Every structure is written in C-alpha cells, then in structure tokens.
Structure 1
C-alpha cells in the first residue's frame, strides 16, 4: 500500500526525473521555432505541485494528492502543463477518502485522471499526451484486475504507455514527418518512471532550477494599484471530515475579496483578503483544525513597494522630496478591466495605451502560469475582467482562472497572437455590457491574419521545406510558410503570402534584435509597394521574433 509520505516521495522523484530530461522533451517539439517548450512547461507545473505537497502536513494519500492537485493547478503553464495538472487533479479525485492506496486504487485514480483531462480539452487529438495517459490507465486497470501490487500496476501501466508513445507518429502526421514521438506523452512517462523509482527505493539526483527561470514578472510600471479595503491577505488549510467546499465558499463570499476555496472533503485551502483575519479563522475552526496559517499586511507591503519603485524612478538628488509625498488611496472598483500577456515592453506599452490594466510578460518560451494570471486578475479593481492570452499555448492556463477566481466575472478572449489581442482591444467598449463585450471582442478575431518572422533552432523537415538551424522563418497563423537567410527577404515574402496588399491596415512590431534602421528599411519597402495601405510600425522589443505582422 502507498502511504501519504510515499506519495510525496513519488512526486519528488517524478519531478526530479523530468527536471533532468526536460530539455530532451523540449527537443521533441515538432516545429523548429523558439517554442513554449513542452518539457519546460511540464517541469514548472510539477515543481509547483511538489512545493504544495511538501507544505502539507497531511498524512493520508488523499491529503497529499489534494495538495499536489492544488499546486499543479496554480503552477500550470502551457497546454501540456494544464493537461498534466488535470491528470493530477483527476488522480486526486480518485484517491479521495483513502488513507493508503493499493493497486486497485492507483488504477482507479489514473482512470479518473484521464477522464478529467479529456473533459478539459475541447477537441482531443489522438497521438498526444491524452492518448498516452489513456493507455497508461488501461494498462493499470488490467494489472490491478490480476491483483498486482502498486509497483507492478505502475510498471505495467508504464509499459503500455511506452508502446503507445512509440505509435504516436503513426497517429499524428506532423510527428511522423518530424521523426519524433509526442513530447507531452514522453514527459508524462518520465514522471511515471520517477514514481516507480521512488517505490523501488531508487534515488534520482535533484537538479536545481535557476532562479531566473522561476516566474515571469509583470511589466514594471504599469501595474494597477489593488483596492486595499481588505488589507490582510489570509491563507490557511482546514483539515477535517465531510468538509463542504461549496458551503464554505458561500459563507465566506461576503467576508472579503479575492476569495479562493478549493479542496476535498478532508482538506480545504482558503485564501481571502479581509479586514479582520481573526473572524475568518474563528469561522473556519468550526469545520476542523487549522494548518499553515499565513497572514500578510498588504497595505504595508504595497506602501513599501510603491515607495521603493518611486525612489528608483527619480534622480537621486530629488529623492528626499519624493519620499515626503503621500501615497494614493485605494482604487475605486470599476465595471470592466483587462489583463493581457505581452512579449515585449513596446507591445506592453501599446496594450496599456489601448486600455489594458495589467500586463504580464509572457509568450513563447516563457508561458505564464495559471497563478500568474490569477494574481494579475486580482490586481484589477473591476467587476468584470477580460483576459487576453495572445498565444495559443496560454489559452488553456487562462481558462483555469475562471475556476479559481470567483469574486468577479472573468472572461477569456481566446486570442492566439499579438495582432488578435490588438483587434480585441479595438472592439472593446468600456461602457458596454460584459457579455456583449466578450462576444464582440471574440468576433473580431476572425478578421485578423497574423504572421511572424523568427529563426530555426534546429534542423528540420516541414512539409516540402528543408530547414537548417539558423534559417530565418516566416510563419502565418503559426504555420511555417517561408524560409531564407535574410530577414528582410523573408519578411517581404511572408507578407506576400499574407496577401497584405488586399487589406486596409498593416501593423508591424519589430523585435529587440531589429535596429531602427532595419525597421525603417522595411517601412520604406512597404510604403513603396502599397502607398494606399495604412501602416502602423511599432518597436515591440519582443524577444525571439524579428517581426510580428497583423493585417486586416
């Protein structure tokens, strides 16, 4: 039987196994462009799960699994990370009420994980992590029916999953063409191998994640001031029996703001901003015992951070006068607010000028986590908050925010590119009704065509295109259409394939590796080729992508 402590050890071992091989998983990505990196996203997600597991003092396998689920939910990055978090969430559901888990319980939990993950994906595709996880669960069930112990169940599950992984190229033509197996499926099996190693007493040496890779940060200087009517951030766990998550959430709904109540019948995590933390603790203790209580005075923290930032932004000789200025008071809650993900400071400034309240640095290679998005939403003092992911690999993480933030209406506008984000903002009406706003913002996305110019990070074959590392690539709607060795030439050919001359407006963001002179050279060509088209050229300062195009 697997105990709660062993489940912790399994999670640590699985995380270490993936940390060691995350770059191998990244290398399986089909497209040769700088990408969100499947292995890296899954690694960040499971590391977050391990941190929450290590924090819990719960002794049962159900309690540890619940903590793992919460950690993975909040730390989920990219589509692969979100799917992994849903697998772990379902596993936790399958282990609810169990002090220990035998082979049968493990098999049931794996199947529950698969069921939960499939429900989270709108259009499941065969040959992905979902397929591998499904076959893993089938392998576990077959083994459990024969009375196998947990180790044998997981080994049989892994074996069936490995056979399935090897067949993924036959299920997805893009995998076969690239000569690789599915990256997400490989990542999941690596985690599973770590679980087996832990149960067999094998040690997987830990590797430390560099601090610079831990969390992408919001753009400095454009963060909205949070309403501090409720200055005490109060967070803790309640442990007991027959805990009613919905009832607790309902009882606390009007006690403060930024309320989060999630968990199981045996352990519930509560996060809320309140005027008096003692009243919340008095209420919660009626349900069970309190653990890991943390209370922070956000007003004091906010004042210290605001003062430090102000002192950094002014000349040293003028700091004494600035230090005497009074801080602004709480921000009044408005009807609508917007959170957007941006790839560079220039793009962030454009978003800000179009009404975005909170901008998060993110995009390819640095997908923000669900927790990053949750924190950004909570910083916006508005009844209705719209999230613009602006990247297809962030949309799923954004959708999870709606399950976590319940004290305001959250709308996910599924923007998959920066130009789509701009289009959504243009169609945004600050005085309109929330549902109509969301619908109008989303309807405009189909009118935008997006393109990018970047570079190849590896040799590859894509369709009829033979790609060499370092080649300049032109993408249209995330599909490689042009290759070459010169940026300007690839940019011109990409625009040509976008039929840009047939449109009225062309928006261009040039990246941090493009000089102003190079951008002006592109401008001159555009204006000479089609003087009738309105051109908007901005220094986006985005990494990895030399140019981002939007035509409409």
Structure 2
C-alpha cells in the first residue's frame, strides 16, 4: 500500500519505526528459519521484531502529547526515542546490534542540521561504524557487513563518501550533496544492502555449508526497506523467501571466537543478556572481563545505560561482572541446550519456562532443559518478560513454572498471550523454586503433554517448601514479635520460627518440615552462606532421619539465604 512520502523529520522516524515492525513481522518466520549463525537457535527474526517493536513503542510515546499545546517531538528527539526504545528492548545478538545501529544514527540526527540527504548518509555511516565498535570481534558476512555496504552506498549517493564512511560531520559539501534527496539516499542504502546480503553466503563458511544468507543481515534489509518506504512513499517489492538451510552432517569446524563467530556445536552453553547502569570506564573493564569469559560479546548504549549480550559457560560469572561494573537488571539467561542441533525453523515439541531467584538456579534449571527468567528482589518479571521466554523456548507446548505465589497472576497473563499466538501452555502454580526443581525432576518431554503436566504438578504439590530470611524491621508475625536482624524461618509461605542465627533456625525449620515425613531434602544455599552450613544440615538430617536423602545446590546472587524443599 502506498504511503505519504516524508522529508527527513520526526514524522519520518515515526513512520519508519511502524513500517519496520510490519516488515519484520512479515519476514520473521523466514528469518528464524535461516538462523544458523552465530548460534543456530532459530530466533533471529523474533529477536529483531521484538527489538523493533520496543523502539516503535518509544517513538509512539514521544508523540503522545502530555497536554494541550504540547510541541511535537523534533527529529533529534524522535531518533533518540527510537534508539532508546530499541536499547531497552533489544533481544539477542541481532537485536542488540540493531539497537546500536539506531543509536549511531541518532547521534548524527541529534547534531547540527545539514542538507537532509547528506545528514542521512552520515547517520548511516555512523550507525555502521558504531556497530563495529560495539562488537568485540567483528566477522564479515554478517549484518555488520550489510550495514557497512549500505553506509557506503548512501555516502556515494549523497556525494560525500569519505565523510559518511567515517561517520564524521562533513565540512562544506558539494553540489551533488546539496541535491541529494533523503529518499534517494535511503534507496541507495537499501539496494546496496540487498546486494551485500546475497554475498554473505560466500563470506562465511557456516552460511555456505547451509546454503543461506545471514539472518541478521536479512532483517536489516527489511528495516532499510522500511526506511526507504517512509521517505519515498513507495512500497518495496516483496523479497523472495530465503532458501532454508541444507542439512549439515558431521561436526562443524569452529571459527575464531567472537560475537559473530561460528560456534559450531562446541560453543558456550548460555546466552546472558542484561541492561546495565554504569559509567564508561567501568564498562570498558566489563568488556575485557566478559571477552575473557566467553564470546558473542556485544555491549551497546551510552549515557550510563548499556545493553550487554554475551555467550558463556558460566552465567553467574557474567552477571557478577555486571554487578561489579554497575547495576544490572532485566537479566535473561538462556541455555542453548539442543538448539544447536535443531534444523532451522523447527519448533521443539515441548519446553519448560521457569522463573528463578538466582543465577545458580538458572544454570541448574537450564541444564535440566528449562528456559529461565531471572527474578531479582523487588523486581519481579513482567508478563512481557515471561512471554519473551516462551518465544525463546521456541516450542509448540510450554509448561510455565512461576515459582512464586505472587507471580501467578503475571504468569497467567503471559500464558494467555502465548495461547493467543498458538502455543499450548500449561501453568503449574509452583510457589517456590524448590517446587519448580521437583517438577523439573519428573519432566518427560517425550511423553504426552497432559500426562507430563499432571506428573509435574503432583511432584510440585508434594514438595513442602521452606525459606530463611532476615528481618529488616521489628514487626508482629504469626510466630511472635521479631526484631530487625532476626532470622525468620518460613514454612509454606508462613513464618514459623524466629531465631538468632542461621544454622539453629534452619535446623528448627527442618525439624518441623520433616515431622510429617519425607524422603528427600533439597537445600539451596544463598551467595553468602558458607558450605559448612550445608554440611551441618546434612549431618542433622542423617542423624535423625536415616531414610531421608539430602541434595545441596548453590542458588547464586539474588537467591534467599536458604531454600528448603522436602519431598
């Protein structure tokens, strides 16, 4: 459908952001299907779409007048809103890079106004340059390559190739630059991106073996096509559906580690993503530390707000590095599991999504095959966070474990949205992480959905749960009056014991929980709790309940001092 053409202004950014969502929505399934790189997890199209949606929402909010007579946003303000929205909503490697591309453009569009065509060319040049800077180990044949080709073509169309390619302000200008229309510059960038995309198959071995183009680059072509459409009023011709990957047998050779490196089947097991509030010097140190921990490192942002993406084997260490650099939040940890071996575009039959209160538990649940959502104290996940996890699970059937009584309503909302998208979802009302672990222990992905849900629900329901916490203030409880600093022992959500120290209170809680019987005790230790406490509690159970086994795990940062499960 034709659209009204725009000059390079705030309305153009608003139209572009909306058209980009439409274009990526049409292409999402095809892009997911060709996603073999850097990790073959079939979610690049989804990640790009969710990133673009977040950016478009921010632009729309900028146009929502706070009151009568409020001025519409400027070009600079709308571009900053687009970049900010993409930054806070960036998903995956490709979405993170897209957010940085938009940020690079916003930096130029926020500068002194110039000839519109030349300004757009410089914006695209800065976008490509900043994306390369954000990636720890750039590899050609990726969306970076497509972005660079688009920037060069835009610079040529604007008549200032040198300045635009460097992403620096143009001194003076030329007659050609003066006459370049933004729509012509955008068309040149779009055409060059399409050509560059076709060439990626021969630039990267993993793409050549699969016989596909780069998935991230395919998404970027859609975004640039939307930019041209917004500025010209003309709709791009439909892109032919990309060829699906050819079956690949045997082990894949590994390339140099990096955010766009071919990780084959031996790459890191986890994807860790979080927003980080930190100063520039701290982020420089964080980059070095995360680069040593894993690969696929992309750190984008600025002005004390960053989006961090890395693939690692130790997700706790990656989050810990963020804690030392600043304040990480909206932390997402994904276990790749068997995704590396799946044919692109194929959904697994069933997956489990679990909310967990610590990185150690995230790793434990990830090893059991669950897609996890990390919950921090005072920062519960939103329905959008849980829906995002359902998308990452990439399954036809999903079992959702909220692992917190207060998250049941939020989880129910996410489940309804997922069902509306055609995913079969069962919500098991687990009220503690130990109930979630019990459910995961009996999970049978190969059995029938109904039987699996019944077995997991029964296992969770048969698990009593306890928790130790420290009182923050004097208050009245069901166990009496507690003072600030007292250790509180909760059983099934109610305070049952008030003690002066951790070990004695834990033993009192165990005594009550085991008073009604049990076969297995699960202990989840918080980050500051010494291993000696676990040894003491194991000995306590052994001496008093000979037939009861005990297993111990580390919950990691953000977990309670002690979680107890009795089955």
TM range (shorter): 0.3 to 0.5
The TM-score, its normalising length taken from structure 1, stands at 0.43
Higher relative contact order (CA 8 A, sep 6+): 1
Which of 1 and 2 has greater Rg?
Answer: 2
Provide TM-score, normalisation by structure 2.
Answer: 0.42
